[in-house]
Structure 1
């Protein structure tokens, strides 16, 4: 089950609106269901099923229906033929399509504001910041982790409580048409596009297509309910609200200063502080402030909430272990986010030696080695004490550059052994999720 941080707990109560939505849905399809349904939660993981659960068997989940029944599932949705005969089991043509359809109808029956966050970089941090601000005043939820695709987003909607006032949902994609589908399901009231970068070029080929994919959300919203990073060359000409450093921005950022604890900045002449490193977090925080303003929050409410913010792990996360300060930014990577992380780490005020460990950035398509070469050139531009790399793409790019400052390692354990030999060091870990560079800390 997707875990949520929220300022209230759902509790073990029947989801009356959802149960009615579910009953009406099956009635229209002329499918019989138990007359006295009492759904308490929705699960896709049989291990999380409990009495009162609706278990939706997605893909391999069809193999765990008996387990779900034993644990007390109220109803089970599957799309495979089974030997089991039980009135609680309903077979549909496609479990994923069912999940999407029922989430769409449930969302339509909720009195809630939904904020969609998309973009090539900074989605999760921006989502965390918006949630942190809005939950100061409203009953709010956000999705955690990477539940942002055609399965994760509708499942996230089904985790909403009927009393929730706001939900912040991240929208991911790997190809054209996916943001459009997620928008149809979630019907967002507000949307944020953080930037247009080089993510998913394996499928989208170029930034023009990334722009087309990310902006599919726009046709579902009033232009005054869309916030974009106005300094992005692809986004600056959109007829939406702009957040950025440009003087023409509706929400103008200025006077940004980074300290060890985070970033001080101004937004439209109001002073703020966000306890996250990297000057780019002034932009991410400004999205949160702007949404808070649009939803009627005061300066003091927003300022106080930002200073107490908590974000998802592995986003420039400081971890002290065995005398080493690790900056764990290893959740994901693209050329743009790696450049931003390198700049942030370089400017971080520290008295320690600075070591960087860079893993492969994945899904970059035919030009992936060229992109990795650009990343390494950016790393060389800064005065880091050591540059360690891991992954075959990084290796191939380094062989082209043939620079003695770059050291390739075939195993993460050897990198950790090398770091343990050093004293008074800070280490930045940055790479795609598949590289799992956080294992160096363990």
Structure 2
């Protein structure tokens, strides 16, 4: 089976899926197989359930009469199909990556642009070598624009994802100490994330630049076309303000208050507003979009529980995002307890970075510091240092936190959000 022959069949489908449990009528099912599971064995059942076509990488399971097609690699065929489909699209595609704030920025950009356009965008965390093709293949004729999030933890991953999605516009939220192990240190992070800039420059595409970010400035110096924000001389200039822990921006005397906490979200708001203004969306409509966006994805999410205010930021953590979270949280009025969990994928830098964050937390003078995870437990000599979230939960069952404000921040693998019900 080749892409050109299969493409007309794809166009007839409702969606593409790699999850056998979610195969519906008129879907295309890519039967990915792992070390302990052969999804091709489910091909016939998928067709019985109404699948329009199934792609398998085991010749024995091919049945062309039932639209079950063999390819040497389901992954390569999925990516090639996405590229072929991308080449047929004439709509603007916005690509973004960065160490922190990718998903929140994506959600904000989608909300703002949706005030004027029918926008498709990356759902959840489908931002890798499989997720990006799936997002591209979900773009339908009715869509007028798309926002594609690209994640990476190694060199050359953004290069691959950019070559598949071929963005017309691109933005790197920031360069932080995330995935240091895979990237090979902070300089490796800069190099890896800048692969998006490399694609945009090589193809004369437009770069969105936060001119308050020295690395973004240096990496895009003397380049055109670009859209800029952050300084008085930028294309778009915003002022920051906050109210009741929430961060907002001011543009030409119009105040836009989000439901996000943390000054670090100001630049995420600015990026979304800049793109909105660039594409002809009024500040009034941008205000409507931003103020209507409610974070529910464990990223800078404020949760009210009885008489307490919880800041739930448990989807991801690295030294950069942890630091700004602590600095933001110390500004809350009233007593404050932090529950911070391990930051994963830091490699040789792990012990040093955990020590640095623990010292920062102690220096800031929180009323109580609780840590979760083996890395913190090795350096935090305290009864409030727990090896895992389950141990924390057992503690919380017997010991109620007295503070008015509670921050929960950790890497995804710690599953710290499970403790919320016991606070």
- Tell me the TM-score normalized by structure 2: 0.89
Change in CA separation of 1:24 and 1:98 when aligned onto 2, cut-off 3 Å:
closer
Change in CA separation of 1:91 and 1:398 when aligned onto 2, cut-off 3 Å:
same
What is the match of residue 436 of structure 1?
415
What is the match of residue 54 of structure 1?
28
* 8 Å contact from structure 2 (residues 372, 388) kept in 1: yes
User: What aligned pairs does 1:159-198 form with structure 2 within 5 A after superposition?
Assistant: 159-198=138-177
With 316-325 and 225-234 compared, the bigger mean Cα shift is at: 316-325
Shift of 1:207: 2.0
The one of 338, 348, 371 equivalent to 2:322 is 338
Change in CA separation of 1:86 and 1:26 when aligned onto 2, cut-off 3 Å:
closer
What is the match of residue 70 of structure 1?
48
- Number of residue pairs matched by the alignment: 408
CA distance in 2, matches of 1:188, 1:147: 16
User: What aligned pairs does 1:234-313 form with structure 2 within 5 A after superposition?
Assistant: 234-237=215-218, 238-239=220-221, 241=226, 245-254=230-239, 256-260=240-244, 262-267=246-251, 271-313=255-297
* 8 Å contact from structure 1 (residues 323, 424) kept in 2: no
CA distance in 2, matches of 1:133, 1:338: 27
Change in CA separation of 1:267 and 1:176 when aligned onto 2, cut-off 3 Å:
farther
Alignment deviations for residues 136-193 of structure 1 (CA, whole Å, 9 cap, x no partner): 1110122122110111101111112211011111111111111111111111111111
* 8 Å contact from structure 2 (residues 61, 70) kept in 1: no
Secondary structure, in 3 states, of the residue corresponding to 1:319?
Answer: strand
* 8 Å contact from structure 2 (residues 41, 61) kept in 1: no
Alignment deviations for residues 107-141 of structure 1 (CA, whole Å, 9 cap, x no partner): 12123211111111110011011011001111012
* 8 Å contact from structure 2 (residues 40, 61) kept in 1: no
1:155 aligns with 2:139: no
CA distance in 2, matches of 1:124, 1:439: 21
Alignment deviations for residues 179-233 of structure 1 (CA, whole Å, 9 cap, x no partner): 1111111111111111111111112112222111111122333677211333333
CA distance in 2, matches of 1:246, 1:257: 16
1:44 aligns with 2:29: no
CA distance in 2, matches of 1:383, 1:211: 32
With 56-65 and 242-251 compared, the bigger mean Cα shift is at: 242-251
Shift of 1:319: 2.3
* 8 Å contact from structure 1 (residues 52, 74) kept in 2: yes
CA distance in 1, matches of 2:253, 2:234: 13
Shift of 1:268: 6.8
Secondary structure, in 3 states, of the residue corresponding to 2:55?
Answer: strand
What is the match of residue 82 of structure 1?
60
What is the match of residue 408 of structure 1?
385
- Tell me the TM-score normalized by structure 1: 0.85
Change in CA separation of 1:27 and 1:257 when aligned onto 2, cut-off 3 Å:
closer
What is the match of residue 384 of structure 1?
366
CA distance in 1, matches of 2:194, 2:345: 20
Secondary structure, in 3 states, of the residue corresponding to 1:235?
Answer: helix
* 8 Å contact from structure 2 (residues 229, 274) kept in 1: no
CA distance in 1, matches of 2:81, 2:298: 33
With 241-250 and 130-139 compared, the bigger mean Cα shift is at: 241-250
Shift of 1:369: 0.5
Shift of 1:421: 2.0
Change in CA separation of 1:101 and 1:344 when aligned onto 2, cut-off 3 Å:
same
Change in CA separation of 1:247 and 1:95 when aligned onto 2, cut-off 3 Å:
same
CA distance in 2, matches of 1:340, 1:37: 45
Alignment deviations for residues 331-367 of structure 1 (CA, whole Å, 9 cap, x no partner): 001100001111222223x44x211111110111111
1:94 aligns with 2:73: yes
Change in CA separation of 1:261 and 1:357 when aligned onto 2, cut-off 3 Å:
closer
CA distance in 1, matches of 2:55, 2:368: 53
Q: CA RMSD in A?
A: 2.6
Secondary structure, in 3 states, of the residue corresponding to 1:251?
Answer: coil
Q: Tell me, which stretches of 5 or more residues in structure 1 are unaligned?
A: 1-21
* 8 Å contact from structure 2 (residues 374, 388) kept in 1: no
What is the match of residue 400 of structure 2?
421
* 8 Å contact from structure 1 (residues 370, 397) kept in 2: no
Change in CA separation of 1:168 and 1:137 when aligned onto 2, cut-off 3 Å:
same
CA distance in 2, matches of 1:52, 1:175: 36
Shift of 1:93: 1.0
Secondary structure, in 3 states, of the residue corresponding to 1:355?
Answer: strand
What is the match of residue 225 of structure 1?
206
